[in-house]
């Protein structure tokens, strides 16, 4: 059975994935950042540390077949923090994968790599990237880094542009962007078990009737989502939309309004920082 490493195991998604993989008795090494993890089962392989440190990366990746890389800054932050956590840290992770012969990396990219597209556009996997901030820009860079390590070093990567990964959708935007937890785990199963993935980019989204994103071109991964946010549509649409006019206009939602200086927005756009939903 393949040995799996999970970085960012103490985060929102990492916690969900960690618990689910352990429940399946999958050999797992879980890593957090500055705070140590409390083992969930007897003998669980846990660690923590700064992934900019090669020694920490070596501890994470020794004997590992597949890395699920969910670590890093996951919201819009000042550029120096983004560079340290999402660029420098990612280079150390891929260099570690190279040292230890890790076959495959699942890289958590983001819908914020394309957040400046209007909600009226439907996107294919080969669409031009249009990040909505420094966080989204770091994911554009990360996808290119993963491409380079496949081309030059043969390390496979699945770059998943995660939508709104929640147990259930809660606002109108999620009717298009929801990535249900059941579909997330099915997706990760395919990332672990698929024979050959090379360099693959895929939308991390469920089978939503209102989805903006088309996964044709990634069929070789075998991802077949079953969840659909439309089940919750009537309830969601009966409540107020928490996004301002700008957030409702663009696929990146509330991230778009952060440090937005054009004069083509309604007066309420300054409130976009209030609800940074993923």
State the catalytic residues.
135
Quickly tell me which residue has 């660690």 as its tokens. Answer: 47
Task: Give the alpha-carbon dihedral of 146, 152, 156, 160, to 10 degrees.
Answer: 20
Enumerate the β-bridge partners of residue 199: 157
Token readout for 54 is 């090669």
Enumerate the β-bridge partners of residue 4: 28, 66
Cβ atoms of 59 and 100 closer than 8 Å: no
Is residue 170 packed enough to be buried (19+ CB in 10 Å), middle (13-18) or exposed (0-12)?
Answer: middle
């Amino acid at each position: 059975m393949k040995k799996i490493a999970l970085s960012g195991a103490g985060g929102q998604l990492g916690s969900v994935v960690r618990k689910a993989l352990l429940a399946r008795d999958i050999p797992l090494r879980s890593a957090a950042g500055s705070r140590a993890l409390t083992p969930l089962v007897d003998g669980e392989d846990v660690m923590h540390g700064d992934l900019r440190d090669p020694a920490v990366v070596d501890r994470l990746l020794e004997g590992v077949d597949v890395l699920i890389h969910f670590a890093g800054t996951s919201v819009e932050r000042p550029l120096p923090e983004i560079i340290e956590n999402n660029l420098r840290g990612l280079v150390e992770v891929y260099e570690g994968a190279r040292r230890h012969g890790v076959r495959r990396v699942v890289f958590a990219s983001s819908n914020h790599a394309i957040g400046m597209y209007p909600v009226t556009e439907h996107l294919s996997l080969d669409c031009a990237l249009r990040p909505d901030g420094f966080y989204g820009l770091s994911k554009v860079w990360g996808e290119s880094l993963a491409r380079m390590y496949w081309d030059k070093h043969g390390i496979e990567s699945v770059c998943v542009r995660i939508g709104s990964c929640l147990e259930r959708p809660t606002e109108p935007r999620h009717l298009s962007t929801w990535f249900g937890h059941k579909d997330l785990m099915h997706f990760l199963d395919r990332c672990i078990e698929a024979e050959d993935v090379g360099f693959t980019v895929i939308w991390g989204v469920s089978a939503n009737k209102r989805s903006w994103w088309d996964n044709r071109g990634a069929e070789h991964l075998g991802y077949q989502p079953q969840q659909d946010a439309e089940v919750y549509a009537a309830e969601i649409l009966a409540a107020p939309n928490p996004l301002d006019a700008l957030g409702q206009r663009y696929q990146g939602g509330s991230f778009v309004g952060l440090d937005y200086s054009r004069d083509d927005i309604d007066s309420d756009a300054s409130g976009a920082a209030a609800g940074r939903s993923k």
